[in-house]
Amino acid sequence: MTSDRPTLLPRRILVAIDGSDTSLSAADQAMEFAAQIGAEITLIHVHDEEVARALKAAVPDKFEEAQWRLEDDADHLLEHLAERARKGGIPCTVRTQRGDPCGVINAVAEEVGADLIVVGRTGRRGVRRVLLGSVARRLIESSRVPVLVVTERAEEGAPAELLAPESGARREVPSSA
What is the binding site for ligand AMP (CB under 6 A)? 16-18, 20, 22-23, 26, 44-46, 48, 101, 119-120, 122-123, 125, 129, 134-136
Q: Please, what is the minimum distance in Å from the beta carbon of residue 66 to ligand AMP?
A: 16
**Residue (of 17, 47, 13) closest to 119 by Cα position:** 17
Minimum CB distance to ligand AMP smaller for 57 or for 127: 127
13/16 with CB nearer ligand AMP: 16
Cβ-based nearer residue to ligand AMP, 2 or 126: 126
Least distance in angstroms from the C-beta of 125 to ligand AMP: 4
Instruction: Compare residues 5 and 58 and give the one whose CB is closer to ligand AMP.
Output: 58
Q: Identify which of 164, 162, 159 has the alpha carbon closest to the alpha carbon of residue 175.
A: 159
| 91 torsion bin: left (phi>0), alpha (psi -120 to 50), beta (else) | beta
User: Rounded to whole angstroms, how far apart are CA atoms 36 and 54?
Assistant: 41
The three-class DSSP label of residue 96 is strand
Minimum distance, C-beta of residue 141 to ligand AMP, in the bound complex (Å): 12
> CB of residue 133 vs ligand AMP: minimum separation in angstroms?
7
Confirm if 73 and 19 have CB atoms less than 8 A apart: yes
Contact in structure between 17 and 81 (CB atoms under 8 Å): yes
